[in-house]
Amino acid sequence: RMGTGPADSVIDSNMIHHRLRNLVVVGTSTYPSCSCANPSLTAAALSLRAASRMA
């Protein structure tokens, strides 16, 4: 789950784990809430964002 701190989430808005700072988590399981729309495009965008920050 994506959020602002370790009390309510596992990763931050950059998809980096709060405690394991070398771990980047991408995928639809990181969304803070469910959506009624197909999540594929959002998952791809978050993956590209995470990859560009690692490069």
Residue numbers of the domain that contains 44: 1-55
pLDDT recorded at residue 10: 92
Question: Smallest Cα–Cα separation from 30: which of 39, 20, 21?
Answer: 39
What does the alpha-carbon distance between residue 43 and residue 21 come to, in Å, rounded to a whole number? 21
Higher pLDDT, residue 23 or 33:
23
**What pLDDT is recorded for position 19?**
94
Q: Count Cα neighbours of 12 within 13 Å in the Cβ-side half-sphere.
A: 10
List pLDDT tens digits, range 15-32. 899 999 999 998 888 877
Please state, rounded to an integer, the average pLDDT across all residues of the chain.
87
Number of structural domains, the chain? Answer: 1
Q: Show the tokens assigned to 43.
A: 């998952």
> What is the model's pLDDT at position 9?
92
- Residues 1, 10: contact at Cβ < 8 Å? yes
Q: Could you tell me if 33 and 26 are in contact, meaning their C-beta atoms sit under 8 angstroms apart?
A: no
pLDDT of residue 30: 81
